[in-house]
Amino acid sequence: MKEIIEYLKARYLSEKAQGIVEYALILAFVVAIAAYVGGTGTLTNKIKDVFIGVENAF
């Protein structure tokens, strides 16, 4: 019984840590996009460029 509890505890903690890492990666991605869009030029032009790039990709 103790082995099962230890297994479940280890599994829960590792999944929790994985979730935190995933949220951190998503946050870093959003910050990178925001920095790129707001970095140079106007915001409107950068947003248009992103949509044109996606359109051309398809």
The 10s digit of each residue's pLDDT in 6-53 is: 877 777 666 666 777 788 889 889 888 877 776 666 767 777 888 888
Predicted TM-score (pTM) of the model is: 0.43
Compute CA distances 16 → 7, 13, 24, 26, 31, whole Å: 14, 5, 13, 16, 23
Q: Cα separation of 31 and 26, whole Å? A: 9
pLDDT given at position 5: 77
